[in-house]
Amino acid sequence: MENKEELLAQDWVQKLLAEPLLARLGTANPETAQPHVTPVWFAWDGQCLYISAFISTRKAREVSENPRISVLIDTSEPTRAVLLEGVAEMVAGTGEVARISEWIYARYVGEGEVKKDPYAGWTKDAEIRIIKLSPEKVFSWRW
């Protein structure tokens, strides 16, 4: 079995994480343990995964109360997947959050569009936070 660093260093894994794909964020209600999975936009810097979230959403509330999360990024043609697990950190602070959220949104809508609404407004919204995951465990598969 390969360790986390070896899995993340694989060329196909880095290429997959660089693509603007939908990821699936898995959280759990801290009181009931009910799982919650939601599609999200993300960015990967080579070591950490970043997801923007408004603090009023279920995903952000659950991460704040129970920071253990899973994030799956996958494609079907060809079948490839990377699953990241660990304890997330909620990043607040207008400057850093605005910069990271703009980076995330630009991956999906482009550099020009991210400067326009609604994205420009989202990056400055008082409710915006960044879910930052430094994965503790990594699983990958392809066929």
Range(s) of the domain holding residue 36? 4-138
- Would residue 16 count as lying in a domain? yes
3-state secondary structure at position 108: helix
What are the start-end ranges of the E strands in 9-104?
23-28, 35-40, 43-44, 49-54, 68-76, 79-91
pLDDT per residue of the chain (143 residues) written in tens, 0 to 9: 478 999 999 999 999 999 999 999 999 999 999 999 999 999 999 999 999 999 999 999 999 999 999 999 999 989 999 999 999 999 998 789 999 999 999 999 999 999 999 999 999 999 999 999 999 999 999 98
Query: Two tokens at 35?
Result: 């799982």
Which pLDDT score, from 0 to 100, does residue 143 have?
Answer: 85
- Would residue 96 count as lying in a domain? yes
Distance CA 90, CA 106 (A): 21
- Report the number of distinct structural domains present in the chain: 1
Model confidence, pTM: 0.95
- The model's pLDDT over 28-37, given as tens digits with 9 standing for 90+, comes to 999 999 999 9
- Would residue 143 count as lying in a domain? no
CATH number at residue 38: 2.30.110.10
Under 8 Å between Cβ of 71 and 53: no
Distance CA 131, CA 112 (A): 24
Which pLDDT score, from 0 to 100, does residue 83 have?
Answer: 98
- Would residue 86 count as lying in a domain? yes
- Would residue 111 count as lying in a domain? yes
- Would residue 109 count as lying in a domain? yes
